[in-house]
Amino acid sequence: MKTWIKFCGTTSLDDAIASVEAGANALGFIFAPSKRRITVERAQAIIRELPAGVERVGVFLNGTIDEIRETVSKVDLTGLQLHGNEFAPEVYSYLPKDRQASLRIIKTVMMCGRFEWFVDPLTTVPGVVYAWLLDSGAGSGKTFDWQAARAQLGQRQGRFIVAGGLTPGNVGEAIRTFSPWGVDVVSGIEAEPGRKDREKMKAFVASVRKAEQP
């Protein structure tokens, strides 16, 4: 199965189209304090121009229920990435009923300790969290200790997305280490914060596909 690829921090239509052409499966729109933050109106304007099959993920950091609900009502998202202290089952329960089935929830786990987080919402509300994103910190641009994390994960099953400091040069190693369901990249494919680099995007996707080969 091909690795799911998300290019995050989308801020312009040109970058969005280039991301799709490079081979990204999903685009991330950051609605939290960030150099790559985007308004609800601008995100929806970009999304209106995208091919139907491209996933659109809204990224929130310690977002309130009201903020997330309002964004979902105005932006045609296919997923939510909860990057802070948001409690996934609570967010899910307050989503508009007609959107609950169509919005995939990705919950971020900061890789700075052991896995107490696995006393998790999956056991209390099965099916709420679609995938877990393993990250080194919001916008840090740094990798975490992959070998230590791999050892701590053990035989746990689930959709894991690796993020944090990925580049065309190291994403292959990340895939060989984790065999993840997906990968998520921001700074590693940028010319500068908020503006994508076309060649880096193409190189990133090429490195992912090469690493998948036996």
Report the catalytic residues.
8, 135
> How many other β-carbons are positioned within 10 Å of the β-carbon of residue 49?
9
CA dist., res. 63 & res. 205, Å (int): 30
Shortest CA distance to 22 belongs to which of 202, 157, 203, 211?
A: 202
Contact 140, 165 (CB under 8 A): yes
- DSSP assignment of 5-72: EEE----SHHHHHHHHHHT-SEEEEE-SSSTTB--HHHHHHHHTTS-TTSEEEEEESS--HHHHHHHH
Q: Which two tokens stand for residue 175?
A: 């895939």
164-167: list long-range contacts, CB under 8 Å, 24+ apart: 164/111, 164/134, 164/135, 164/136, 164/137, 164/140, 165/136, 165/140, 165/141, 166/204, 167/200, 167/204
